[in-house]
Every structure is written in structure tokens, then in C-alpha cells.
Amino acid sequence: MVRHLTYKELNLLDRDGRITEIIKKVFYNHPAPSIWHQDISRNLEEIFLYYLKKHPIGILYDAPVDVILSDENVVQPDLVFILKDNRPIIKEHGIEGVPDLIIEVISDESYDVKKKMPLYATYALKYLWYIFPDEKLIKTYRLNVAKYDLIDAVSEKDSFSHQLFPGLIIDAKKVFRKIL
């Protein structure tokens, strides 16, 4: 059964550590991600935090954090980056508005890519990264009018940079490093 909610109604639920999102008022409730998924997210977070200590150009948040695009569209990406100039969207209860970059570690491609990518384009999210753990592949996108253009597709053997982070070169091997 499809359940429709608004952000206000979502906050009345016991989320119990689960990923809870609303896309076009449809409620999605996902189990916690796998350890491998979390390793990848943590590795990338560590890379960014090290960079941001030396270059304080913005703020990085990790899941779970609500990104409230509207009352009917609320997502919890793995990582959210907000440039200093965009800081007013940061509120105590979550991010109210469009961040500068969202990074999703893909658990369910049919959901993360097919449902969320068009949603992000609707709200003019400028940069989007998808990380595919099984393929050890990172795809970076930039919004071009109403759809995303692929900027880069990076395998575990490669390194890459991104214009939001001047001087940062990310070694994909470090992103896909297993903690245990």
C-alpha cells in the first residue's frame, strides 16, 4: 500500500534509525545500509573532512540528515555538501533547500537513480555523485538545464578532481577501501 506523507507528518513517526524519505508525497522506508555501503561513505567523508580543515569552503553532513526540498520531497542522502555562501539553508532540524552537492552510495539503483535523479533535477541540484559499490565505480554529474550530464566515470584504479574542491585529488582506491 502506498503511503502519502508531508514533512510534518514524517516527523511524527518513529524513524528508528531507518532511512525515511518522501518523494512526491510517497513515503519510502529503507533499512540501514550495509557495512560496505557505510565504509564507502565514511571513507569519502574522511577525505572531505581532511580537505575542509585546510580549505574551509563549506560544510559536509552525513546521513541521516533531512534535505527538505519541499514539504512533499524530503531525502536523506549519504553525504551533503554546502558551500559557505549557501549556509542559510542549514537549520537545526535539517537542510531546507538545495545543497551544492549530494552524494549517494547506491543500494538500490532503481530507487536511488530512477526516482531521486529526476527529483534532484527538478530542484536544480547542481552537482550529484553516484557511487556504485559492486562495480567500484563513481559517476559525477552536473545539471544542464533540466537533466544531468555525466562529468566523469571513475573506476577504483583512477583518481579524479571536482571543481567544487580546488586542489583536491580523490584516489578512488581510498574511497573503496574496506574498513575490516
Q: Are strands 101-105 and 147-155 parallel, antiparallel or unpaired?
A: unpaired
Taking residue 92's Cβ as centre, other Cβ atoms within 10 Å add up to 4
Residues of the chain with pLDDT > 90, as a percent, come to 69
Domain that holds residue 125: 33-175
Residue 102: helix, strand or coil by DSSP? strand
Q: What is the pTM of this model?
A: 0.89
Q: Is residue 6 part of a domain?
A: no
Q: Is residue 2 part of a domain?
A: no
Q: Indicate the average pLDDT of the chain.
A: 89
Q: Is residue 71 part of a domain?
A: yes
How many domains, the chain?
1
Residue 54: per-residue pLDDT = 97
- The answer on pLDDT for 154 being more than 70 is yes
Q: Is residue 8 part of a domain?
A: no
Q: Is residue 7 part of a domain?
A: no
Q: Is residue 27 part of a domain?
A: no
What's 167's domain CATH number?
A: 3.90.1570.10
Q: Is residue 65 part of a domain?
A: yes
